[in-house]
Amino acid sequence: MAVLLLFGATGKTGAQFLSQALAGGHSVTAVVRSPAKVTINHPNLLTVAGDIHEPQTIEAAFDRSYDAVVSTLGISFKGPGSPLTEGTKPIIAGMQRHSVKRLLVVSSVGASESNGIGPWWVKLVQRFILKDVLIDKTQQESLIRASGLDWTIIRPPQLTDTPARGQVIRWEGANPVGGQATWKISRADVAAELLRALSDPASIGKAYQVSDTK
């Protein structure tokens, strides 16, 4: 079982990942701005206060040895700016200083080379609603790719709060062959995909789109 450092545990996807990781026997240190917001009690969970925009607090989180770092960080503000890119810098710096190689990150369909894929309504969301967010996520992905770490990027489309179905299609590049993607996926299934990638060395250096299937 792995010892994990998790950023974004109080978000909906992060909470799903935390629950599944603990249920799977992993040990997790969750870095959150408000530790009281983590309501799970578990012997393999350590919650520490930290803010990605206060680098010294992130450095302090690396006082243990970790097998991997997981980021499910997201932003609700959809205006210009690079909060995810800037917030990822101290995470990468901490990993490099403390020789933690494995990094798994939730990004989004529409970032980097996945921009413009999907049916018309997905493209409209990318172009108009998430334009600035996707610029930030693309910059974040570029930073990750240049880090020298053993990274995996998971790009979901529209996220839902429905239960996991376990019927996920994952692919690289353009639209999936066969048109089976629904272009929606539950946060629980995204969390499961992160755990799958954690145990799959073939996912290192890969950026996957993921979606529920029809």
For the four alpha carbons of 115, 120, 121 and 125, in that order, the dihedral sign comes to positive
Whole-Å CA distances, 188 to 42, 80, 158, 159: 19, 29, 13, 9
pLDDT tens for 55-113 read 999 999 999 999 999 999 987 766 788 999 999 999 999 999 999 999 999 999 999 99
Residues contacting residue 172 through CB under 8 Å, at least 6 positions apart: 206, 207, 208, 209
CA angle, 194 then 156 then 87, to 5°: 75
Q: What is the pLDDT, as a whole number, of residue 14?
A: 97
Distance CA 137, CA 131 (A): 10
Contact in structure between 113 and 141 (CB atoms under 8 Å): no
Q: For residue 78, what pLDDT is reported?
A: 67
Cα distance between residue 189 and residue 17, in whole Å:
9
Question: Which residues pair with residue 67 across a beta bridge?
Answer: none
Burial of 67 (0-12, 13-18, 19+ CB in 10 A): middle
Q: What pLDDT sits at residue 176?
A: 87
* HSE (side-chain half, CA atoms, 13 Å) at 85: 18
Query: 153-162: per-residue pLDDT in tens?
Result: 999 999 999 9
Q: 109-144: per-residue pLDDT in tens? A: 999 999 999 999 999 999 999 999 999 999 999 999
Checking if the pLDDT of 196 tops 90, the result is yes
User: What is the crossing angle of helices 83-97 and 131-145, to 10°?
Assistant: 20
Indicate whether 40 pLDDT > 70.
yes
Give the CATH fold of the 3-212 domain.
Answer: Rossmann fold (3.40.50)
pLDDT at position 111, please?
97
Which pLDDT score, from 0 to 100, does residue 77 have? 67
Q: At 213, is the pLDDT very low, low, confident or very high (cuts 50, 70, 90)? A: very high
Give the C-alpha separation, 62 to 1, whole Å: 19
For the chain, the average pLDDT equals: 95
Residue 208, strand partner residues: 154
Least confident range from 22-26, 62-66, 150-154: namely 62-66
Q: Are 71 and 47 in contact (CB under 8 A)?
A: no
**Interval 165-181: pLDDT, tens:** 999 999 998 888 777 89
Backbone phi, psi, residue 125, to 5°:
-60, -45
Specify burial of residue 83 (Cβ count, 10 A radius: 0-12, 13-18, 19+): middle
